[in-house]
Each structure stands twice: as C-alpha cells, then as structure tokens.
C-alpha cells in the first residue's frame, strides 16, 4: 500500500502511536442486507485484517481492537460460537503472515475461559510474537475495562503486601493492566454511529480523542481510517493544561 495516497509527508511524521477501535455495527450491516448477523462478523473480520495491515503500513505502532467483551457472552450461543470460530480462523491466518509482516499479536482479557482450541492458538501466537518489532495488534478478548481495573488493583495489592512496591499510584497501577508497557491510545475510533465506550479501555482512555463514524464496521475502508486519523491530527490536545 502506498501511504502517500492517504497522507502528506508532514502528516506521516505526526502519526499517532496507538489507535484503538470499537468495531461496531456488524450485526446491523448484515441485517440491512437480509443476511444473518454472523455474516456481518465474517465481513467484519475481513475489515479487521485490512485495518491492521493499513495501520502497519502507515507506521502506527499499536492497534487495539474490541473483539469480544465480557458482556458478549449474553448473545445467542450460535453467534458466540461463530465469533469464536472467526477468531480462530483469523488467528490462524495471522500466524502465517505475522513473521513475514513483522506484526505482533497480544491479547487483553481473561482468555483462560475461552475454548481450548482458541487458547492453544493464543499460546502459539504469543510465542511467535516474541522478537517481532512492527505493529503490535492487541486483541481484546473476553475483555472488560472495569474487570481489568479490578484485576490490576488486586495484583497491585498483592505486590504491596509482598513488599515489591511501596505504594499504589496512578503510574504503577498501569503496570498491572493487560496493557502494561503499551502507551495509552491517542485515538479511539468507534463505528456504527454509537457514542459510548461500552467498558472498553476505561483506564487507558483518560486523554484519548474519540472519533465516531456512522458507517458500520464491515463498510470501513482505508480512507475512513485515514479520515479518522486526520481528524485526530487537527485537534488540540491540552491534557488538562492550557
């Protein structure tokens, strides 16, 4: 992909380091075409693959996506199974292309309760990711922002009791999040025209800029992602200062 089709050289110098996406609207995309919701997730998975490649090509370092929330288990079993199946398929494909594209994959969330085949794949992916230096894709799987904060608080309390840290602060609590070591996202994109966080990256989004697209996730193309990033570049970020 020729990145100069989307960005000027000045813009390429100001690329955000970390972009996150709430891939919403798969179900509506399918329903509006008279297709089962699962067809929307399938198309959405393809959009995810293209989006990750785009982020890699334009020099974004971290791309975090909301693939399955702790609340998504409430969906019909058929839909849950279909999403798990798609994750398996796309992880398998990612494993094949990761080394070649220098992409790393990481998982945020409680993956211990996922189907065994998926857990095995996650282990394999983790192993391959060691040593990759390109884009890091963080897949939020069985993830909830509140659950992540509660887990981090428990881990930090343990470290405090063990004398490994002297106090718990806003800085060192970050070390116990799934995202430890990853800078906070500068930009969070949500598709499907909804304006809420839905328990996504609650800790990390303190100063993130939001971009809402009225397009459904499967309709998102490179130019839409570029538009979101350009919108972010045009904003003044003050972090509470003047």
Query: Using CB under 6 A as the criterion, which residues of the chain lie in contact with ligand FPP when the complex forms?
Result: 23-28, 41, 44-45, 48, 65, 67, 72, 83, 86-87, 90, 139, 192
**Least distance in Å: CB of 72 to ligand FPP?**
5
Catalytic site positions: 24, 72
Other Cβ atoms within 10 Å of 143 Cβ, number = 26
Q: How far is the CB of 182 from ligand FPP (least distance, A)?
A: 17
- Which residue's CB is nearer to ligand FPP, number 79 or number 175? 79
Would you say 65 or 229 has its CB closer to ligand FPP? 65
Q: Which is nearer to ligand FPP, 55 or 139 (CB)?
A: 139
Q: Which is nearer to ligand FPP, 49 or 230 (CB)?
A: 49
Q: What are the respective helix, strand and coil percentages of the chain, to the nearest 5?
A: 50, 15, 35
What one-character-per-residue DSSP string does 39-103 give? HHHHHHHHHHHHHHHHHHHHT-SEEEEEEEETTGGGS-HHHHHHHHHHHHHHHHHHHHHHHHHT-
To the nearest whole angstrom, how small is the minimum distance from the Cβ of residue 48 to ligand FPP? 5
User: Which residue's CB atom is positioned nearest to ligand FPP?
Assistant: 27
Give 131's contacts (C-beta < 8 A, 6+ positions apart).
none
**106 by DSSP, 3-state: which?**
strand
Q: How far is the CB of 79 from ligand FPP (least distance, A)?
A: 8
């Amino acid at each position: 992909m020729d990145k100069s089709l989307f960005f000027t050289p000045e813009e390429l110098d100001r690329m955000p380091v970390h972009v996150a996406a709430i891939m919403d609207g798969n179900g509506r995309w399918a329903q509006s075409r008279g297709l089962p919701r699962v067809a929307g997730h399938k198309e959405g998975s393809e959009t995810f693959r293209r989006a990750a490649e785009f982020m890699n090509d334009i020099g974004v370092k971290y791309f975090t996506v909301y693939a399955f929330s702790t609340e998504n288990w409430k969906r019909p079993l058929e839909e849950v199974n279909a999403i798990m199946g798609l994750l398996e398929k796309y992880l398998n494909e990612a494993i094949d292309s990761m080394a070649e594209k220098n992409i790393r994959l990481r998982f945020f969330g409680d993956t211990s309760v996922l189907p065994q085949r998926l857990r095995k794949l996650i282990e394999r992916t983790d192993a391959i990711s060691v040593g990759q230096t390109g884009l890091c894709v963080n897949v939020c799987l069985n993830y909830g922002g509140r659950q992540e904060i509660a887990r981090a608080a428990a881990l930090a309390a343990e470290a405090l009791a063990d004398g490994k840290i002297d106090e718990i602060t806003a800085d060192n609590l970050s070390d116990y999040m799934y995202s430890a070591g990853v800078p906070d996202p500068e930009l969070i994109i949500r598709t499907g025209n909804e304006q809420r966080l839905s328990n996504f990256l609650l800790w990390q989004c303190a100063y993130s800029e939001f971009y809402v697209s009225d397009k459904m996730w499967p309709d998102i193309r490179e130019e839409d992602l570029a538009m979101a990033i350009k919108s972010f570049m045009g904003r003044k970020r003050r972090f509470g200062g003047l």
